[in-house]
Chain A
């Protein structure tokens, strides 16, 4: 039965259709039912992805490959969509009337990302990437009010379109030299192809699009503007879910094609070093919390590239482990942000003053997630970085490890600035306590506990990951 292989995607399509139908309903109805409905649908997709974890097969004339790797990533993507949906009940910067569209584009983007993880053919992969990008191009300027958002939207769109045009140009050379677009066929011909410089040019241009999605240097410039201009929920989606999808594609391409040439590795080393250094240095001077997180995510992309350049099973497993912990810690930081944002939705660092008095739980969540992002033991971020750097070390990339460790120390500075505001800052006048509802409480506890557990007992998870990163 082939349709069961397509189960998570079918559920995503159903969800998208339901949200589309919501557009036509009356505003009161939407207000009442949309959020509960999206929670239920998100949970169902997660369950569907969970039950299709062990599926295996090829569909759509072998262009679509279902295996442990793709199914696990689909579960990760479905889970992160569900998390984004949970914090989307109160969206101060989105008009109520665009709420169904917001959910619709979130679900089409996630659908496309699920397809990305399974695509076994370059054109399928590219078109899925375009669906994901197009949905995000609309999500960014969806925010109400200021033209600023339309401006960051058009910047994102035009740079993204240029990156994908170059990707296509590169794909044409791959098509011309390999005479096929199936990744596995290209892999079998790779020894011959690597002698042809034009294949290298094609491969390089093709990577442009994916590096753009990952916001790695030199394609990072869009991230700060887009993060600042978009609504918090959209920013959280772009920072977490879309990054996970980009990582899945990069692992798949590098694993299958494994171009273990020295030039390729040294390009990755350079990109990794520049991403983490520039990201961290720029993050230090930011006042806007979302911009700070944007620059920190550029730095995180650099750490992920450090794991990828080892091109070893340990390295890939480390990258997947790190992206899972990155999802949790970044999501919980954004959740605190979304709770703090009251009207304008762009919290500055000074807005965090006295958070510990206003809501101890949110302050604790922020503390744990930022410390984990900085890589403080015994949290998940530390363990993940440990795996990444030891995989890079095993291949002798000690320079990357050294700069990576120095960067972690630098990043501690700006994370601690926020934490200092939250814990030591005193609110002038009477501090109004933040009301934290039961759902937020549950998510906070879950995030804190999972970050600690992943940091202290990573072995079961890393075993599961090592079993799944296999093609």
Chain B
């Protein structure tokens, strides 16, 4: 077992365990902390996939902004929303069955597919190349993302105004 394999196993076990905790804990704040751990593990996976820049972005944007925003939202919400309600067991079983079916189908299909591997030798994972693509074929999506972020912020401000009107 090489060092890389060991790291991969540790990272994936951490990620999956954290993901399970993120959907199962009773206190919502624990869900959010588990999500942070899970996102950290995913950043490590990105690193193993030779995308260092994306790993850094994952930490900065996901862990640093999204997860923190979720935690703030939980802290701002009234106390009785900080707990998940009691489990409704028939529903839990149904949800588990559906997601198990989802995974089983994926597993069967994934393991039987012959994956064509790329043959290119001089792989260019550099940020320079990424930048060229982002301002090349992805110019339009890149610009549209900025509009999406803009209107999302405007929308969030509007909602805040609505909240003031309530109080």
Residues of chain A having any CB pair with chain B under 8 Å: 60-64, 98, 101, 104-105, 108, 111-112, 115, 119, 121, 123-124, 127-128, 130-131, 134-135, 137-138, 141-142, 147, 150, 176-177, 179, 196-198, 201
Contacts and interface: CB of A to CB of B under 8 A. Distances in A.
A147 B162 CA distance: 10
Given A61-B136, A108-B147, A115-B140, A196 B113 contact: yes
A198 B109 contact: yes
Contact of A201 (B105, B140, B166): B105
B137 A62 contact: yes
Given A61-B139, A128-B144, A131-B144, A138 B105 contact: no
Contacts of B113: 177, 196-198
Contacts of A119: 140
Interface string B140-157: 110011011001101100
29 contacts: A60-B137, A60-B139, A61-B136, A61-B137, A62-B137, A63-B137, A63-B140, A101-B158, A108-B151, A123-B141, A124-B144, A127-B144, A128-B144, A131-B147, A135-B151, A138-B154, A138-B155, A138-B158, A141-B159, A147-B166, A150-B159, A150-B162, A177-B113, A179-B116, A196-B113, A197-B112, A201-B105, A201-B106, A201-B109
B140 A105 contact: no
Contacts of A111: 147
Counting from the closest, the 7 A-B pairs by CB-CB distance are: A138-B155, A127-B141, A61-B137, A198-B113, A60-B140, A197-B109, A127-B144
Interface in B32-56: none
Contact of A112 (B105, B116, B144, B159): B144
Given A127-B144, A130-B148, A141-B159, A198 B137 contact: no
B25 interface: no
B138 interface: yes
Contacts of B93: none
Given A150-B162, A197-B109, A127 B145 contact: yes
Interface string B47-83: 0000000000000000000000000000000000000
Given A134-B155, A137-B155, 18 more contacts: A60-B137, A60-B139, A60-B140, A98-B158, A101-B154, A101-B158, A105-B155, A124-B144, A127-B144, A131-B144, A131-B147, A141-B159, A141-B162, A147-B166, A150-B159, A176-B115, A196-B113, A201-B106
Contacts of B166: 147
A104 B151 CA distance: 9
B144 A121 contact: no
Say what secondary structure dominates the interface of chain B.
Answer: helix
Given A130-B148, A198-B113, A123 B138 contact: yes
Interface string B81-110: 000000000000000000000000110011
A98 B154 CA distance: 11
**Which of B112, B148, B151, B159 lies at the interface centre, i.e. has the most chain A CB atoms within 10 A of its CB?**
B151
Contacts of A105: 151, 155
Nearest to A200: B109
Nearest to A202: B109
